[in-house]
Chains A and B, each alone.
Chain A
């Protein structure tokens, strides 16, 4: 069976916040850049996101957090992926996240955090260069 090389990305909005402008704009840009994009919709718990990532067989998860809850939500998604034996699914994301928190999140396994002002091009380029297929 030939493998489908198109990378699949789950774009997710974890937590209670509903501001989805960033998530949706990034999702559209990733789709226009040739990735397969699955969007979770709003108000997702880390568990819902990890289940969706596994069910949808994605190569990476992109989280958008603007509510200040990033220090709980990002690590929780990473932990649950690890618990499910799915730590080959990379986690990246963006939002209103201070520099010192970015350093800490990267230490905890977040592949990349984009902050306000990041261009869509910088995001799609990063995904091209850093996300590889999880399917062997």
Chain B
């Protein structure tokens, strides 16, 4: 059959295409994705000749999960609509969470402010000017109790974007659950806890890679025993892409990080099926529609094969690449910001057609400030329109079998596997990071993309094409300038009224655990329950593990 197709293609090129091209050439000499991956004029059955349906695609819910991880996908249950939110004090953010839940959002996603992310209390000198700005300020368990006031932790799942101090925020969350009378085996959610991508892309680290990996494996071991519904790591390509990577780099470096965590878990003495079912992923949804869909499909296939063939996983759940998606913040423009609603819709549609398990849609005003309530509502409604009006959730993997999408999926898989092999040849992801390999690849891609924009090789509407000169500003959210003062008072008040002897005792035993081989999780839980602050606990680890500083490459 494919010989017939090839013959027909050849005939078409000569008899139909050539005359058309001679009359009117195409718009470009060559077409490519936003990541410079070449795209052909037409794809036919000849392009998918080598593809074996059973081996390479399979049925949804079956190995290698290319078509989706669930047998019914969105016919059974829609993706979780999970808007990332957090600002100001815990009280401010608690109000926003209640609002989002009242509007039909089905899960929470906590954004922390920079001091929490970097392990400083709000009253620390390094926190000046930063309190409550990019997320909610959490210093002690007291703040966490306020953050989840009136939100039953056995009914709502929560994702927390926290990395270097993830063990501490997870401990605080468990302490709040305990206070609510919710047993830990009913607690569900995710900690991002992906330190490898911090060294690669987002660069919010505290300690060096090796002790950081120990904190992660301690948490994996603890959660697999005590909090079985918790996703211990959300292995994140999102930030890699935002740092300027291509789609293939996002795919490759994320899965390479995943491989790094699996190896670390095995080296820590765990059986792969003990922890791998709770590893989840987090991808970006950028502008290039088909490239994104192919990326998600390739991710599922690569992960399934790696887990089964390389790590010998037996539990199908260990092989499933479950993932959250966020539309691309870096694709949004400050110019003509209402266009961002359209960009986000296209990106969200790609994520859904790619089979995401949960989704955050960005708000139109996020290149200007934190989003207003109105902008957040439009972003959430975008998902609801896709889910309820567009019809795309009615069937599974609608692009499966498309000559183009299948070919692109295979090409991205091949390119990603080549990167993963290169990283293996360096000795693994930690060694590659220490050499600066992924960092430099991403930096080069980011610079190339910017140059392509400036030479109009790539077009962004409102930036280098269809530019408007006299734009009217849109309303943006204003943060209460008093937040810093209020939160410093909060943390000082909590610190003043705690039992200091108890705090010191828990911090000292934590320090001993950190120096030894014990799992640190129970000690952190004791410390947070004595209202030891995040900064104090991080200081214990800083003392034991040291701090990481970045190599100053350009």
Contact = CB atoms under 8 A, between A and B. Distances in A.
A120 B450 contact: yes
A67 interface: yes
A34 interface: no
Interface in B519-553: 549-552
Interface in B92-130: 114-115, 117-118, 120, 126-130
B300 interface: no
B476 A69 contact: no
B368 A96 contact: yes
Interface string A21-49: 10011011101000001011111010000
Nearest to A115: B334
B134 A68 contact: yes
B368 A98 contact: yes
B258 interface: no
A25 B334 contact: no
Contacts of B244: 21, 25
A67 B114 contact: yes
Nearest to B117: A16
Q: Which of A21, A24, A42, A98 has the most chain B CB within a 10 Å cutoff?
A: A21
Nearest to A37: B554
A99 B118 contact: no
Given A24-B554, A28-B554, A96-B369, A117 B115 contact: no
Interface in A100-135: 115-117, 119-121
A16 B451 CA distance: 28
Interface residues on B, range: 35 or more
A24 B129 contact: no
Residue of A41, A42, A68 contacting most chain B CB atoms (<10 Å): A68
Interface stretch (B182-190, B197-205, B492-500): B197-205
A73 interface: yes
A38 B223 CA distance: 44
A52 to B, nearest CB: 11
A28 B126 CA distance: 28
A57 interface: no
B446 A116 contact: no
Contact of B454 (A31, A68, A98, A121): A121
A45 B203 CA distance: 16
B473 A99 contact: yes
Contacts of A121: 454
Main secondary structure of the interface of A (DSSP, over half): loop
B343 to A, nearest CB: 14
A119 B426 CA distance: 36
Which has the most chain B C-beta neighbours within 10 Å: A18, A25, A76? A18
Contacts of B133: 67-69
A28 B114 contact: no
A41 B552 contact: yes
Contacts of B554: 24, 27-28, 31, 37, 39
A55 to B, nearest CB: 14
Given A17-B114, A25-B446, A69 B129 contact: yes
Interface in B454-483: 454, 462-463, 473, 476, 479
B242 interface: yes
Contacts of A37: 554
A41 B554 CA distance: 9
Contact of B203 (A18, A98, A115, A116): A18
B476 A98 contact: yes
Given A28-B554, A96-B368, A115-B334, A18 B450 contact: no
A117 B333 contact: yes
Contact of B552 (A40, A73, A119, A120): A40
A67 B126 CA distance: 13
B367 interface: yes
A19 interface: yes
A16 B114 contact: yes
B447 interface: yes
Given A16-B126, A99-B473, A117 B203 contact: no
Contacts of A27: 554
A85 to B, nearest CB: 24
Interface string B119-149: 0100000111110011000000000000000
A69 B450 CA distance: 25
Given A16-B126, A37-B554, 17 more contacts: A16-B118, A16-B130, A17-B134, A18-B204, A19-B202, A25-B244, A25-B450, A39-B554, A42-B550, A67-B130, A67-B134, A68-B370, A69-B133, A72-B130, A116-B334, A117-B462, A119-B453
Interface of A: 15-21, 24-25, 27-29, 31, 37, 39-43, 45, 67-73, 76, 96, 98-99, 115-117, 119-121
18 contacts: A15-B114, A16-B120, A18-B205, A20-B203, A21-B242, A21-B446, A29-B450, A37-B554, A39-B554, A42-B203, A45-B126, A67-B114, A68-B130, A68-B369, A68-B370, A68-B479, A117-B463, A119-B453
Interface of B: 114-115, 117-118, 120, 126-130, 133-134, 198, 202-205, 242-244, 330, 333-335, 367-370, 443, 446-447, 450-451, 453-454, 462-463, 473, 476, 479, 549-552, 554
